[in-house]
């Protein structure tokens, strides 16, 4: 010790203050000159030491200011329990400031002699291993698909597949036999009777569908025709139970139509093809088969059934191509295949022939006709079918501005309009001619007039006319008129499993977005790590434990909450936008599948489970970069678990946003929300201030506050032998010692977001109308 004044043991020359009356050396301190005769003292520091202590919490003045003043054990050294020695931190261990027993470094950490922190490579080793395995899996899947496609192409050119176009076609017969096995009943088909069926949305002052009465017999093939906006889709939606009529009633097979009872029996092919683009044609159809075919079927039977349908729909050669790589016509046929595979009792198709060439369109309609001859009810919305297609139909319903202007056998439609004074040339396509008649060019078409016995005209509108013209509609309530659906679809657990494996496959087929997401996590961790690198692992500084409080430097209670804030914001940015995509991109698929009887909760659970590997991998990449640069005093696994749970919470929040907000606005909205929530983590305004406002409960509703508290707990725990952490907690209002509860709360809040997302998904507009 140099520079001591002759009458003081302190460098500054001031009189020392005794810290304790007997010998005592706090853990983590170096007290070489102290004894019972010379107990530890505090010396007023020199000006430069005082300045360093106040200005640089991360590099405090650790030089003794007096002969008997203990000094905190500097970084890279350790001072065993009685503080008599100051030793170099051995290789393979690290010694942050105030160490009395070196911390052992992990096997995969870099810790040379006199290390003050450990550079953990554990995360890197794991992510490299996982990334390599994933790359190999992706490559294997790609090669498998490529070789299957090559094989299909070779088979196609050698065998020149024939279209499944006629009754005597072997592929139709094979599929029909398979279909009959699948429906397992002789009571095939559904008949619909409707009376005064009306639909008027609350927002409108006119009917979209106006008092339509009539019936559709099982085993018949119907076309619903009319100009654009005439109410065709709305009418079909009403029949399928997707919309609740404002007035009127529907019966199915003579019984009250309860959607839940017949949703598994009907199939609906929407106008826009709702297929998962990352999957192959076969995978799309096979999924539907797995979910909806009788649960007693084996996987081999399902595959066999799919083979026959693919053959029938002329899709065998494209079956292993992903949907984004097939033509519009093939997509349409695949979309129809998804419904046909399940053996529906009634099939509703919106524009099934659009996008098909005329030969394919005709062969498809003939397949539908063959199904209807088995008993299946077929209802197609068709705009302008060519003559050959029109002639395959049994019955036609023509709508104009929501009113039915014709309902009956196809052969009767031309005479009906001719009798009404409209000219229909024999050479013309009757469908075109009728659409011309009911188009805007003829704004008013009056119904045929009926005369009473005295010969006077009864003035009638279309509604009255059809009530009189059509035979009475049977609406009777019978006990169980519908074919049984028991055992028709896979059990819940299996549905969940199929949805999970499908979603994982989707992720595997999108390597760019998958790796981008993980890459963003890695970059976020890297940036935070870089920002914290200069701290050299010293992220907290409190008052030294008694009796050494006077030796303390300026406290630093803000860095840990600031690290939490940075992590929350970075995780929010890294996971909000991918989280939104979980459901945002697939609302149409969800609606289509759940309407056909797919369990909503199984779909949701499968989808959610599929995000777990993404969350685990993103957070692993984040933690690896963060941990190696920031070198926090907490263990790699504690960091990882805490970060992964916050990822989990934000993913849940983003899923909720994706359900509530439109697909276009979702990513931006979720990012903003996640950032706002991140700010509410107790850093600014500090939790102590929030406490004074009596608003802590509000902060506690967000995962960031619990995340920051968990972080605070871990960071302070490794310094608890040196600093008075209870004082720090009391001053900042963070509660220490409940790390598990903090993590649990982050998990619970993340799960609540998911439950809300599920409720939103079930009740979102379009799910139920
Ligand atoms: N919920 C609703 N609220 C307000 N208007 C609606 C609603 N549903 C349908 N419409 C309107 O009702 C009319 C009939 O719609 P619908 O989709 O049934 O017609 P469409 O005959 O199927 O038409 P397209 O052939 O063009 O598909 C359209 O003008 C549509 O905008």
Architecture of domain 161-469 in this structure: 3-Layer(aba) Sandwich (3.40)
228 Cβ closer than 6 Å to some ligand 1 atom: yes
Residue 469 confidence class, pLDDT cut points 50, 70, 90: low
Highest mean pLDDT among 212-216, 274-278, 326-330, 729-733: 729-733
Q: Which tens digits make up the pLDDT trace of 99-140?
A: 999 999 988 899 999 999 999 899 899 999 998 998 898 889
Tell me where in the chain the CATH 3.40.50.300 domain(s) lie: 161-469
397 or 3: which carries more pLDDT confidence?
397
- Whole-number Å distance, alpha carbon 284 to ligand 1 midpoint, is 29
- Whole-number Å distance, alpha carbon 207 to ligand 1 midpoint, is 11
Nearest CA to ligand 1 atom 17: 233
233 Cβ closer than 6 Å to some ligand 1 atom: yes
Nearest CA to ligand 1 atom 24: 228
Closest CA to 317 of 173, 502, 163: 163
Nearest CA to ligand 1 atom 3: 201
What is the CB neighbour count within 10 angstroms for residue 482?
19
210 Cβ closer than 6 Å to some ligand 1 atom: no
| 197, 206, 208, 435, best to mutate for ligand 1 pocket (most atoms within 8 Å of CB) | 208
Nearest CA to ligand 1 atom 16: 231
- Whole-number Å distance, alpha carbon 645 to ligand 1 midpoint, is 45
Query: Going by DSSP bridges, is the β-strand pair 395-400/221-225 parallel, antiparallel, or unpaired?
Result: parallel
Peptide linkage before 102 cis (omega within 30 of 0): no
Q: Which tens digits make up the pLDDT trace of 274-310?
A: 899 999 999 999 999 999 888 888 899 899 889 988 8
Nearest CA to ligand 1 atom 18: 231
Highest mean pLDDT among 80-94, 144-158, 344-358, 452-466: 80-94
702 or 373: which carries more pLDDT confidence?
702
> Residue 528: pLDDT above 70?
yes
- Whole-number Å distance, alpha carbon 235 to ligand 1 midpoint, is 10
Closest CA to 563 of 648, 641, 647, 627: 627
53 or 355: which carries more pLDDT confidence?
53
9 Cβ closer than 6 Å to some ligand 1 atom: no
The closest-lying atom of ligand 1 relative to the alpha carbon of residue 235 is 18
Q: For residues 320 and 148, what is the distance between their CA atoms, to the nearest angstrom?
A: 6
Q: Which tens digits make up the pLDDT trace of 567-576?
A: 999 999 888 8
Query: What end-to-end distance do the CA atoms of the chain give, in Å?
Result: 85
Lowest mean pLDDT among 227-236, 458-467, 663-672: 458-467
H helical segments located in 586-635: 587-595, 600-630
204 Cβ closer than 6 Å to some ligand 1 atom: yes
The closest-lying atom of ligand 1 relative to the alpha carbon of residue 226 is 21
Residues above pLDDT 90, as percent of the chain: 38
Tokens of 298: 């084996």
232 Cβ closer than 6 Å to some ligand 1 atom: yes
DSSP state of 201: -
- Whole-number Å distance, alpha carbon 608 to ligand 1 midpoint, is 34
> Residue 547: pLDDT above 90?
yes
230 Cβ closer than 6 Å to some ligand 1 atom: yes
Tokens of 658: 């994706």
pLDDT for 602: 93
- Whole-number Å distance, alpha carbon 481 to ligand 1 midpoint, is 32
Q: Which tens digits make up the pLDDT trace of 716-767?
A: 998 999 999 999 999 999 999 999 999 999 999 999 999 999 998 887 655 4
401 Cβ closer than 6 Å to some ligand 1 atom: no
Query: Going by DSSP bridges, is the β-strand pair 17-18/41-42 parallel, antiparallel, or unpaired?
Result: antiparallel
pLDDT for 769: 40
pLDDT for 464: 64
- Whole-number Å distance, alpha carbon 134 to ligand 1 midpoint, is 46
ipTM above 0.85, yes or no: yes
Q: Which residue has the tokens 């419904």?
A: 339
Query: Going by DSSP bridges, is the β-strand pair 377-381/346-350 parallel, antiparallel, or unpaired?
Result: parallel
In the predicted model, what is the mean pLDDT of the chain?
A: 84
Nearest CA to ligand 1 atom 23: 229
400 Cβ closer than 6 Å to some ligand 1 atom: no
208 Cβ closer than 6 Å to some ligand 1 atom: yes
Opening angle at CA 29, ends 733 and 632, nearest 5: 50
DSSP state of 550: G
> Residue 454: pLDDT above 70?
no
The closest-lying atom of ligand 1 relative to the alpha carbon of residue 236 is 18
Lowest mean pLDDT among 315-319, 481-485, 733-737: 481-485
Nearest CA to ligand 1 atom 1: 201
- Tell me if 692 sits within 8 A of 699, measured CB to CB: no
């Amino acid at each position: 010790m140099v520079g001591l004044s002759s009458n003081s043991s302190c460098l500054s020359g001031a009189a020392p203050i005794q810290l304790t009356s007997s010998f005592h050396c706090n853990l983590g301190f170096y007290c070489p000159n102290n004894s019972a005769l010379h107990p530890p003292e505090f010396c007023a520091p020199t000006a430069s030491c005082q300045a360093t202590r106040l200005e640089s919490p991360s590099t405090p003045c650790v030089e003794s200011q007096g002969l008997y003043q203990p000094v905190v054990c500097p970084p890279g050294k350790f001072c065993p329990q009685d503080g008599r020695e100051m030793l170099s931190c051995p290789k393979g261990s690290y010694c942050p400031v105030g160490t009395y027993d070196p911390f052992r470094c992990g096997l995969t950490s870099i810790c040379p002699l006199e290390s003050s922190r450990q550079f953990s490579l554990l995360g890197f080793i794991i992510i490299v291993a996982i990334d390599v395995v994933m790359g190999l899996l992706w490559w294997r899947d790609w090669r498998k698909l490529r070789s299957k496609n090559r094989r299909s192409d070779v088979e196609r050119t050698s065998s020149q597949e024939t279209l499944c176009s006629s009754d005597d076609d072997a592929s139709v017969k094979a599929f029909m036999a398979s279909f009959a096995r699948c429906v397992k009943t002789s009571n095939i088909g559904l008949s619909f009777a409707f009376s005064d069926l009306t639909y008027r949305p609350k927002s409108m002052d006119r009917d979209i569908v106006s008092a339509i009465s009539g019936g559709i017999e099982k085993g018949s093939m119907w076309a619903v025709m009319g100009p654009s906006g005439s109410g065709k889709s709305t009418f079909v939606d009403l029949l399928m139970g997707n919309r609740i009529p404002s007035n009127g009633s529907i019966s199915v097979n003579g019984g009250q139509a309860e959607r839940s009872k017949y949703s598994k029996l009907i199939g609906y092919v929407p106008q826009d093809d709702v297929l998962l683009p990352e999957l192959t044609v076969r995978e799309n159809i096979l999924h539907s088969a797995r979910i909806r075919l009788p649960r007693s079927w084996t996987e081999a039977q399902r595959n066999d059934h799919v083979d026959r349908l693919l053959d029938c729909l002329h899709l065998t050669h494209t079956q292993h191509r992903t949907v984004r790589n097939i033509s519009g016509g093939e997509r349409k046929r695949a979309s129809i295949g998804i419904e046909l595979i399940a053996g529906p009792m009634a099939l509703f198709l919106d524009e099934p022939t659009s996008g098909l060439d005329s030969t394919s369109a005709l062969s498809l309609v003939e397949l539908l006709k063959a199904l209807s001859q088995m008993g299946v009810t077929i209802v197609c919305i068709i705009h302008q079918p060519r003559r050959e297609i029109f002639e395959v139909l049994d019955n036609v319903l023509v709508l104009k501005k929501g009113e039915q202007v014709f309902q009956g056998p196809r052969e009767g439609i031309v005479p009906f309009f001719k009798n009404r004074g409209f000219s229909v040339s024999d050479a013309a396509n009757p469908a075109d001619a009728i659409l011309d008649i009911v188009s805007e060019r003829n704004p008013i078409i009056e119904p045929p007039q009926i005369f009473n016995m005295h010969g006077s005209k009864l003035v009638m509108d279309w509604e009255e006319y059809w009530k009189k013209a059509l035979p009475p509609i049977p609406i009777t309530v019978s006990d169980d008129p519908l074919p049984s659906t028991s055992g028709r679809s896979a059990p819940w657990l299996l549905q969940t499993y199929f949805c999970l494996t499908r979603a994982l496959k989707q992720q595997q087929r999108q390597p760019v977005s998958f790796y981008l997401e993980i890459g963003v996590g890695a970059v976020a961790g890297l940036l935070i790590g870089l920002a914290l690198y200069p701290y050299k692992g010293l992220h907290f500084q409190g008052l030294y434990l008694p009796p050494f409080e006077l030796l303390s430097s300026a406290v630093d209670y803000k860095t840990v909450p600031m690290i939490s804030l940075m992590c929350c914001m970075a995780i929010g940015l890294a996971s909000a936008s991918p989280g939104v995509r979980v459901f945002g991109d697939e609302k149409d698929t969800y609606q289509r599948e759940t309407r056909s009887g797919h369990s909503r909760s199984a779909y949701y659970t499968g989808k959610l489970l599929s995000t777990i590997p993404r969350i685990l991998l993103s957070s692993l990449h984040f933690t690896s970069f963060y941990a190696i640069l920031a070198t926090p005093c907490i263990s790699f696994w504690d960091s990882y678990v805490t970060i992964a749970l916050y990822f989990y919470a934000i993913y849940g929040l983003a899923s909720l946003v994706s359900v509530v907000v439109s697909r276009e606005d979702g990513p931006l909205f979720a990012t903003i929300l996640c950032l706002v929530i991140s700010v509410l983590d107790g850093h600014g305004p500090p939790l102590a201030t929030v406490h004074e406002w009596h608003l802590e409960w509000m902060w506690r509703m967000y995962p960031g506050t619990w995340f920051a508290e968990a972080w605070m707990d871990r960071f302070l725990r490794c310094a608890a032998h040196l600093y008075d952490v209870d004082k720090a907690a009391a001053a900042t209002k963070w509660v220490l010692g409940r790390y598990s509860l903090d993590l649990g709360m982050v998990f619970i809040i993340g799960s609540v977001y998911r439950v809300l997302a599920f409720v939103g998904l079930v009740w979102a507009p379009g799910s139920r109308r």
